[in-house]
Structures are given as C-alpha cells and as structure tokens.
Homo-oligomer: A and B are copies of this chain.
C-alpha cells in the first residue's frame, strides 16, 4: 500500500472539510479497533458527509494507492473494520438519515450510519417491523449490519439482514457509484450484486444507501423462560421444539456461566443455579401466542425443565432481554480475555455440540461460556482465558481449533453472523474449498483490482 502523504491528506481535507479528516493520534486511536481484540492504528480518519464525498475520497485512493477501511460504530466481532494495513479509516456515521419509510410499499430507504435501534423505533412507530436485531442494535449501524449480514435472536423465524436488503447504492474502490437491486418486493434483472455486497464485510464496495424490506409489526409478543438442571436437556428441548414444527420468534439458550456473569452485572434476580435457561418468544395474534406458549411449555416440561415461566408484564420481558444482551460484555468477569466464536450447527446437533464443549472445557481447564440463538443452531461459544499466561493462551488457541473442527464435523459453519474479518480468516479454508476460495478472490479482484478497500480481511494471506 502507498503511504498517505501530506499532500493527499490535504486533498482529502479539501473534499470533506478539515474538521472531518483527522490525523491526531488521540483521534486515530479511537478508530483502531472494533469489538474483537484486534487493534491497528490508521494513518488518518475521514468522516464524509455524503455519497459524493465517499466517491471522491475513493477516487483519490484509487489514484494514489492508499487503502481505505470503511466502518460504522465499530461493534464488529471479527476485526472487519480494523485498519490492518493502516491508511484511511472512513467513518460513515455522518450518513445517518432515514430517507424514507414508505408505509404503502413496506420499504425504507436509509443511509448506512443510521443506528439499527433508532431504525427499529422509527418503523415500529408506524406499525412496521424490521426483524434483524443484533445484540449491538443500540449502537451498531445499519450499514455495518448489512456489510456483515448481521443476525440476532429473531433470525430463527425472520431470517438475517440479507433477507431484508432489496437494493443498494454503493461506491466502488475506484470511486464509481453503482446502484444494485430493486425497490420493489422482488426482482431478478441480472446477477445478484445486492446480496454479493451484503455480507462482503466492506471489501467490495462502500455502501451509501440501502433499500430495506419491512413487515407489518406483529400484533403481540409472548415471552417465556424454561430452566433446566442439565444443559443437555435444554439442548434437546431446542431440537424438540423445532421437530414439533414450531418456529418461535426467538429461541435463545443461556448456560450457567453466562447467567452467573450477567446476574453479577445487573442484579436482576436471574436463576443462577440453573444449568441452562431457554428464553423463548412467539409473536402474532394474542390468542395464537397463548396457544403456542402452552405447547412450548409442555415440550419443555416433557424434556425435564424444572421451571417454566411466562413473563406476565412487559417489564419482566424487557428485563430478560436486557440480561440476554448484556451477557457478552459481562463475561469478562470470568477472565480477562474472551474468544467469542459464533459457530452454527444443524439444530438437531446442538446436544452433540454441548457435549463436545463440556469435554473441551474439562480437557483444557478453561471456562467455556455458551449462549445464543439456539433456535437456528447458532451458539456463541466464549472461550475464557488470560492470554498473558502463555499456557492458557496456547490452550485457548487449541480449544478454538478443536471447536471449529467439531463444528464442521457436525455439518456446521464457522460463522453464523459475525463474519470472517481477520480473526476467522485463518480458518476459512477449513470450511470453504480451494476452488470456491479462488472464485471469491477473483470476485474481490473484479470489484477492487488494486486491493485498496478493506485489505487483509476474509482471505488469509498466502
């Protein structure tokens, strides 16, 4: 990569204004990391105001050969927005307008810097619904969600971000502006560039506008929990609910270690003696919800649940979700370092995965805390360690390797929603074959022949 010269910085400042391009160390350090442990200082941080400025900065990068790493709030879990090769971090938070919520056609047009949770509130106020709900929704951006193809608890019923992106406006690494997809309910004109860019982790183009599909807001939501003395009973219950052809709105799994940590943080009176808790929601007409919850409660009980509780107030349900969303940061109570892998296995293999994790924890002596979207087989496995201790660091690495091996052996995937970024790049080749990786690398070259956009991501250096 070409270094960023003083002259180039001045040109960038000419495009975005000198207030919106900084090289001050105290600013650069704020944009050096994401929610993974990765950390690399950029040479400059640029805050474009609109698509035109994004395009002009990228045209400059194309001409001068410096690299650009786009980002939103930096809440990614795999280093996708960490500027590993230095250069410019392009922060898209100023492109933060909800341009349109079209209640006649159930679509919205938004800029990438809109906070996901704000968008939820805006559409819900109009009786509409945007299902993707990563746990980071209170601060992550829609642009980041689309770039990573974020999921969340509601994916079990409603699918992931990809399923709600109808069309994009984006800027190619050479500064060309493109428009993909449609703003209608469906469309098949040419290759699906929309879903190629969605989930490409900011490596193919910088998204500057998104057309998102909305649904009518479900009439009501019912929430319940089920407690188990044996984690394997909880795992089997997840499979059994799906086997009974019930697809709840959410079907979350929280193990004992996770329950304990989050209770310590929030003091909500969570059942910290349970081996595992399932947090289940259904949505639809109130009567149908009641019937579904009763059916699910019966399945939980038949599988050995020691307690089944329906949340009878909105506050009770909200507390449960507050707890669920606080787990990830709370786990640092257990150890200073956390390796968080969002593996997915076929839902019926969750009991096998749980058994494998128990064995792995015993063998390595490391605490492994699990929670996540069990309903779609997506378990967040957190290997807790103190990496300053070389023995623990080595064991954590070994546990990660074996976790991925077991995941693939069970027919799963190494990432359900966090993407590959840099932290999973060394493992991608274990899941994706050589011919397929070659196609992906060549597609990258089609979009970014000079390799200046978010370099070092997804593909392990060879």
How far is it, in angstroms, between the C-alpha of A248 and the C-alpha of B291 when the chains are bound?
22
How far is it, in angstroms, between the C-alpha of A443 and the C-alpha of B191 when the chains are bound?
9
Assess the A191–B186 pair: CB atoms within 8 A.
no
A35 beta carbon closer than 8 Å to chain B: no
A185 CB contacts on chain B under 8 angstroms:
155-156, 344, 347, 375-378
How many chain-A residues does the 8 Å CB contact rule pick out?
A: 90
A178 beta carbon closer than 8 Å to chain B: yes
A283 beta carbon closer than 8 Å to chain B: no
Assess the A102–B346 pair: CB atoms within 8 A.
yes
A14 beta carbon closer than 8 Å to chain B: no
Contacts A196-B195, A346-B183, A439-B178: A103 and B243 contacting too (C-beta < 8 A)? yes
How far is it, in angstroms, between the C-alpha of A371 and the C-alpha of B188 when the chains are bound?
19
A412 CB contacts on chain B under 8 angstroms:
182, 184
Partner of A188, one of B183, B345, B418, B444: B418
Partner of A184, one of B176, B179, B183, B345: B345
Q: Which residue of B lies closest to A126 (CB)?
A: B245
How far is it, in angstroms, between the C-alpha of A435 and the C-alpha of B215 when the chains are bound?
32
Identify which of A45-53, A82-90, A159-167, A361-369 touches chain B.
Answer: A159-167
How far is it, in angstroms, between the C-alpha of A345 and the C-alpha of B107 when the chains are bound?
13
The complex is assembled from copies of this chain, and their number is 2
Of A107, A176, A413, A439, most buried by chain B (CB within 10 Å of CB) is A439
A284 beta carbon closer than 8 Å to chain B: yes
Partner of A435, one of B176, B182, B439: B176
A287 beta carbon closer than 8 Å to chain B: yes
Assess the A439–B433 pair: CB atoms within 8 A.
no
A440 beta carbon closer than 8 Å to chain B: yes
Contacts A188-B419, A443-B446: A346 and B160 contacting too (C-beta < 8 A)? no
A99 beta carbon closer than 8 Å to chain B: no
Contacts A184-B346, A247-B215: A436 and B242 contacting too (C-beta < 8 A)? no
Chain A positions 283-327 with a Cβ under 8 Å from a chain B Cβ: 284-285, 287-288, 291
Q: Which residue of B lies closest to A177 (CB)?
A: B435
Partner of A179, one of B198, B419, B436: B436
Partner of A187, one of B216, B375, B415, B433: B415
Assess the B435–A442 pair: CB atoms within 8 A.
no
A458 beta carbon closer than 8 Å to chain B: yes
How far is it, in angstroms, between the C-alpha of A424 and the C-alpha of B188 when the chains are bound?
11
Partner of A447, one of B172, B216, B439: B439
Assess the B104–A184 pair: CB atoms within 8 A.
no
The chain A residues found within 8 Å of chain B, CB to CB, are 102-107, 127-128, 148-149, 151, 155-156, 159-160, 162-163, 172, 176-180, 182-193, 195-196, 198-200, 204, 215-217, 239, 242-243, 245-247, 284-285, 287-288, 291, 344-348, 375-378, 411-420, 424, 428, 431-433, 435-437, 439-440, 442-444, 446-447, 458
